[in-house]
Amino acid sequence: MKTLVLNSGSSSIKYSLFEMDDQSVLAAGVIESIGGSHSLHRYKIGSDSAISQTLALADHAQGLHTLFSGLQHNAILQDAAELFCIGHRVVHGGELFRQPVIIDSRVTEKISELSALAPLHNPANVQGIQQALNEFGSVPQVAVFDTAFHQTLPQHAYHYALPRSWYDDFAIRRYGFHGTSHYYVAKKAAEHLARPLAELNLITLHLGNGCSITAIENGKSVDTSMGMTPMEGLMMGTRCGDIDPALSFYVERIAGLSSAEIEQLLNRSSGLKGVCGENDMRAVHRLAESGDQQAQLALDMFAYRIKKYLGAYFAVLGKVDAIVFTGGIGENDSWLRAQCCANLAALGIAIDEEKNTSARAECLDISARQQAVAVLVIRTNEELEIALQSVDCVLNGGS
Ligand code: AMP
As a whole number, mean pLDDT of residues 66-76 equals 91
pLDDT score at 47:
87
> pLDDT-based confidence at 359, cuts 50/70/90?
confident
β-bridge partners, 17: 4, 27
Percentage above 70 pLDDT, the chain: 100
Supply the pLDDT for residue 107. Answer: 97
Tens-place pLDDT, residues 325-348: 999 999 999 999 999 999 999 999
Position 347 scores a pLDDT of: 95
**Residues 214-239: what's their mean pLDDT?**
97
Centroid of ligand 1 to alpha carbon of 49 (angstroms): 21
Confidence of residue 389 (pLDDT cuts 50, 70, 90): very high
In angstroms, how far is CA 45 from the centroid of its own chain? Answer: 24
Beta bridge partners of 45: 27
Give the position, in ligand 1's atom list, of the atom nearest the Cα of 210: 2
321 touches ligand 1 (CB under 6 Å): no
For position 224, what pLDDT does the model report?
98
Per residue in 255-290, pLDDT tens?
999 999 999 999 999 999 999 999 999 999 999 999
Q: Is the pLDDT of residue 398 over 80?
A: no
Residue 328 Cβ < 6 Å to ligand 1: yes
Mean pLDDT throughout 208-237?
97
Closest CA to 204 of 213, 191, 217, 193: 213
- What is the per-residue pLDDT for 399? 62
Q: Among residues 48, 59, 104, 146, which one is catalytic?
A: 146
Q: How far is the CA of 231 from the centre of ligand 1 (A)?
A: 19
Per-residue pLDDT tens over the stretch 8-53: 998 999 999 999 999 999 999 999 999 988 999 999 998 888 999 9
CATH class of 194-382: alpha beta
Q: Is the CB of 242 under 6 A from ligand 1?
A: no
Q: Which of 34-38, 89-93, 211-215 has the lowest mean pLDDT?
A: 34-38
Q: How far is the CA of 208 from the centre of ligand 1 (A)?
A: 6
* Burial (CB count <10 Å: 0-12, 13-18, 19+), residue 238: middle
Which of 185, 189, 183, 234 shows the shortest CA–CA distance to 208?
Answer: 234
β-sheet bridge partners, residue 378? 363
Say yes or no to pLDDT of 69 above 80. Answer: yes
Mean pLDDT of 302-323: 98
Residues of the chain with CATH 3.30.420.40: 2-145, 194-382
The percentage of residues in the chain with a pLDDT greater than 90, rounded to a whole number, is: 92
Please state whether 232 falls in left (phi above 0), alpha (psi between -120 and 50) or beta. Answer: beta
Query: Is-catalytic flag, 333?
Result: no
Give nearest CA residue, ligand 1 atom 17.
332
Residue range 2-145 forms a domain whose CATH class is alpha beta
CB 102 within 8 A of CB 129: no
- What digits encode the pLDDT tens for the residues 139-184? 999 999 999 999 999 999 999 999 999 999 999 999 999 999 999 9
pLDDT at 111 over 90: yes
Q: Is the CB of 123 under 6 A from ligand 1?
A: no
Mutate to test the pocket of ligand 1, among 207, 238, 273, 281 (most ligand atoms within 8 A of CB): 281
